[in-house]
Structure 1
Amino acid sequence: MIQMLGIMSEALSSPEVSSSLANNTVAKTNEVSNVATLANMVGGLIVVLALIFLLAYIVKRLKLVPSSGGVIKTVAVTSVGQREKVVLVEVNGQQYLLGVTSQQINLIDKLTNPVDIPISSFANRLKQAKDSNNE
């Protein structure tokens, strides 16, 4: 038994075995380091993509982006229930007040005197949205 321990000790102390053990240790360390770096990169990418989708949802939800300059323009929208809205639309310079539900759209009034809504800046709209959420 003691002879076997002596032989094993000599084998482990030989330069070939120790360099082979060192190479295996370095290779395993490099593999672990590469996997950790890749996981870190993928995690960061997921966080950035989630942040982009979250910000896009917030901008869409708060209607911070003005609508395109098409023929029909939405001038103002006010919610009066969970799925009911009063919408002021403009078509060819004429404004219409509509009642919108999940099942139908009703004309409430054709306005003779157009409502002039001042165009607000992004900062003002963001402040309004923030104040309305705090209430």
Structure 2
Amino acid sequence: MANIILMLSIMSEALSVPEVSSTLAKNTSAHPVEVSNVATLANMVGGLIVVLALIFLLAYIVKRLKLVPSSGGVIKTIAVTSIGQREKVVLVEVNGQQYLLGVTSQQINLIDKLATPVDVPVSSFASRLKLAKEQQ
């Protein structure tokens, strides 16, 4: 805080010198500032909105395409299938045992404990993209 006060006092002394103040007055009158503060602020806010929209769009794409691998924890989600607007059937693996769960917005029900594990092929983004291009 003391450094800021010292710098401000030095700057005020420098501006009070007649030679410096007349030079500054000549420079500012020779080049008038034509850009208003409102235009600068609008430009800055517009850029901020574009950057935030881009961040949210990329987060939505990553979430929708499931590009982020699940953690290597104890519980792994193997497959999810939507049945209704808020209902899903989820295949979960816990310590090598697979469970089929019914998930709604209010509760989770165990449908079945699978005796033989289901083998679900893992598809990468590259394979999904290649498949999508071939279908077009």
Q: For this structure pair, what is the TM-score category when the shorter chain's length is used for normalisation?
A: 0.5 to 0.7
Structure 2, unmatched stretches of 5+, are: 1-25
Q: Cα distance, 1:59 vs. partner? A: 1.5
On the 8 A contact 1:79/1:85 being kept in 2, the answer is yes
Structure number with greater Rg is 1
Number of aligned positions between the proteins: 107
The TM-score normalised by the length of structure 1 is 0.65
Does 2:84 correspond to 1:81? yes
Structure having the larger proportion of residues in helix: 1
State the Cα RMSD in Å: 3.0
Q: Structure 2: which amino acid aligns with 1:43?
A: G
SS at match of 2:86: coil
Q: Name the CA shift for 1:92/1:85 in 2 (closer, same or farther; >3 Å).
A: same
Partner of residue 64 from structure 1, selected from 62, 67, 70: 67
Is the contact between residue 62 and residue 129 of structure 1 (CA under 8 Å) also seen in structure 2? no
Say whether 1:50 aligns with 2:53.
yes
Alpha-carbon distance, 1:49 to partner: 2.3
Q: Who is 2:8 aligned against? A: none
| Closer/same/farther in 2, CA of residues 53 and 127 from structure 1, 3 Å limit | farther
Deviates more, 1:93-102 or 1:116-125: 116-125
Gaps of 5+ in 1: 1-19, 131-135
TM-score by length of 2: 0.64
